[in-house]
Amino acid sequence: MAKDKKQSIFGRLFGNRNKTVDVMVEEQIQSPGKMMLNNFLHNKLGMTGVIVFLLIFVFVVLGPYILPIDLGDTDNTQQNVPPIQSMLSVPKELDGNISAISPGPTFGVGCSKDGKVYIWGYTKITDTIDLKDIPDKVKEANIVDIAAGYDHIVAIDDESNIYVWGNRRLGQDRVPSELKGTKKNPVNIVQLEAGYQFSGALTDEGKAYFWGNGNMCDVDVKKQYQGHIQKIAIATYNYCLLLDDGSVVYGGVQKDNAFTRIPENLSSGVVDIAATGETMAAVDEAGKIYVWGNSTHGEKDVPESESRPVELYGGRYHYTALMENGDVFSWGDDSHQQADVPAEVNGAAIDTVYAGFYQNYAVDVNGKVHTWGLKGHALGTDNMGRDVLTRIVNGGKVTMTVGAISVIISLIIGIIMGGLAGYFGGKVDMLIMRVSEIVGGLPFLPFALLLSAIIGSRISVELRMYLIMIVLGVLSWTGICRLIRAQILAEREKEFVLAAQAMGVREGTIIFKHILPNVLSILLVEATLLFATCMLTESTLSYLGFGITPPTPTWGNMLTGANNSIVIQQYWWRWVFPAAIFGVCTICINLMGDAIRDAVDPKSIGR
């Protein structure tokens, strides 16, 4: 018997309806509730909708804890990046054969010991500029060093010839004549760096030269420093110099900015310097690290270490240090795990590190490359550089919350008003129905748009969300009210109601404890379908710009860009993924509602 019972349950759950049963026995042991449940479980479309919806629900409920969102976070280096996971995918040709690596915002570029250039990641700068289109002159040259800027790449060959490709419209390729040596007087370049629309080079004579957009960067170097420079460190728009006397100086001619305020302790004894986008760092002979500038991502929170740092490397908002014992540690911004050094790196005898933007490449003594940081964006980024997957997860939570709260408000109002109208009838029924017709006759979208235009800009985004919930709930109860009224009109004439009245049961108890439970199944169908409708309405308002506004994400306002032909054609990921998950979610909710309706209807129960 136990085996037969297990088979029967298994068959019910997975749609096995071929087993012959005794109709009389079945009717004796199955209550109406069990019959509805059994019929619902055998509805394959309905069960599919339940499973997929639950997966989406768990995704948007638990997702924000895994992918938290910073509403103030924007990143111009990550704008409109398509779905990609290859930003750290170093080509196999460079394994054990690396001469230099330089990370860019969404790409990496490197050169091998035999002078070949390799590039990986997302390399498209504009519709017409793609960094993977390496010039023929570069392919034919023997490249010994390379540097990646925001939108261009600078390379140098074994004869100190400098090559620039990518965006060159702001003078990124106007190399100073001092760096163009001759066969009789060759110029030996020992360091090559690139920043935002400008680049820099250091010669073996201790002279530094910068070129590019002089309006963005102080490209002029004070003459007293020339001939004494050991290293240059380039930030987004500025740079500092390490001189041969161990001091750190700001090399430009500007009198005061965040980089000119160098700590007094750095007047001597400095062994290395590095820069992030907005800060500079230096390490002295004792291994103490100093950071100055506009620290916004924890760059000044230098962790303590047992070993002495000997070399520093800077990304966009993080630093990486190579220790005297060969270990590596990072600190600062860790939004893309760029400050989370893998355990395998420490103890791997690291020879050198290449860090930049959100990527780190550590090369050990055997030439093996260890990487950590930003691999890419699974669903791409939007026009503000924000991760689409993160916004979908957090936006889904907002959209579902608005839909759920709106349905709860509608249910409360609709059940109370419908219950009173159906049970008491007469003038009460007439009054409630007239109010219902007035509310139902309001043009919802124009009313919501007008209300949002009048007071929406005067309140915060959070209050705006509450306002949308209330408006949706207050204007969506009329259908539930009419449904409850019709069901109670039929139920109130039955014998159990007359018996309750004869026993002196209060009318409120009769309505809400005796009659309503008999119409809950139909109410559940209506609530399920109304949930999807409220989600669609909220998204419609947000899409039109009158609902919840960015930076707070919802599935609706994420689709705002879909009304732009350029976005539709070139940045498809910005609307395809939000539209897909939203469409699947609403379809699943409707499938659930249809399945519940079929289960409640006795005529749909087949034998």
What secondary structure does DSSP assign to 80-106, as a single string?
Answer: TPPSB--TT---GGGTT-EEEEEE-SS
pLDDT of residue 3: 47
Q: Does the pLDDT value for residue 540 go beyond 90?
A: no
What value does the mean pLDDT take over residues 284-298? 92
Handedness of CA 395, 398, 399, 400 (dihedral sign): positive
Q: pLDDT per residue over 277-290, tens digit each? A: 999 999 999 999 99
Q: Among 356, 374, 369, which residue's Cα sits nearest to residue 149?
A: 356
| Residue 551: cis peptide before it, omega within 30 degrees of 0 | yes
Residue 343 to residue 340: CA distance in whole angstroms: 9
Q: What is the mean pLDDT of the chain?
A: 86
Q: In 204-303, where do the E strands start and end?
A: 208-212, 229-234, 239-243, 248-250, 270-275, 279-284, 289-293
Is the pLDDT at 385 greater than 60? The verdict is yes
Q: Which amino acid makes up residue 329?
A: F
- pLDDT tens track for 157-206: 998 899 999 999 888 999 998 998 766 778 899 999 999 999 999 999 99
Q: How confident is the model at residue 602 (pLDDT cuts 50, 70, 90)?
A: low
Whether 374 has a pLDDT exceeding 90, the answer reads: yes
Looking at the domain 220-376, which fold is it?
Answer: Methylamine Dehydrogenase; Chain H (2.130.10)
User: What separation in angstroms does the CA of 556 have from each of 395, 485, 534?
Assistant: 8, 34, 12
* 463 pLDDT above the threshold of 90: no
Could you report the per-residue pLDDT of 333-360, keeping only the tens digit for each?
A: 999 999 999 988 987 888 999 999 999 9
Report the SS3 class of residue 176.
coil
Q: Identify the pLDDT of residue 524.
A: 82
The domain locations on the chain are 2-72+387-604, 84-202, 220-376
Give the pLDDT of residue 486: 86
Fold assignment, 2-72+387-604? MetI-like fold (1.10.3720)
250 DSSP assignment: E
Residue 521 has pLDDT above 70, yes or no: yes
Q: Which fold has domain 84-202?
A: Methylamine Dehydrogenase; Chain H (2.130.10)
Q: What are the strands, taking DSSP E only, across 15-171?
A: 98-103, 107-112, 117-121, 143-148, 152-157, 162-166
Note the pLDDT tens digit of each residue in 209-242.
999 988 878 888 888 999 999 999 999 888 999 9
> Token match 């408006």: residue?
471
**84-202 and 220-376 agree in CATH topology:** yes
% the chain with pLDDT above 90: 49
Q: What is the pTM of this model?
A: 0.84
| Beta strand spans in 467-548 (E) | none
Where helices occur in 273-425 by DSSP H, the ranges are: 388-424
Q: What is the dihedral of CA 181, 182, 187, 188, to 10 degrees?
A: 130
Query: CB of 153 within 8 A of CB of 109?
Result: yes
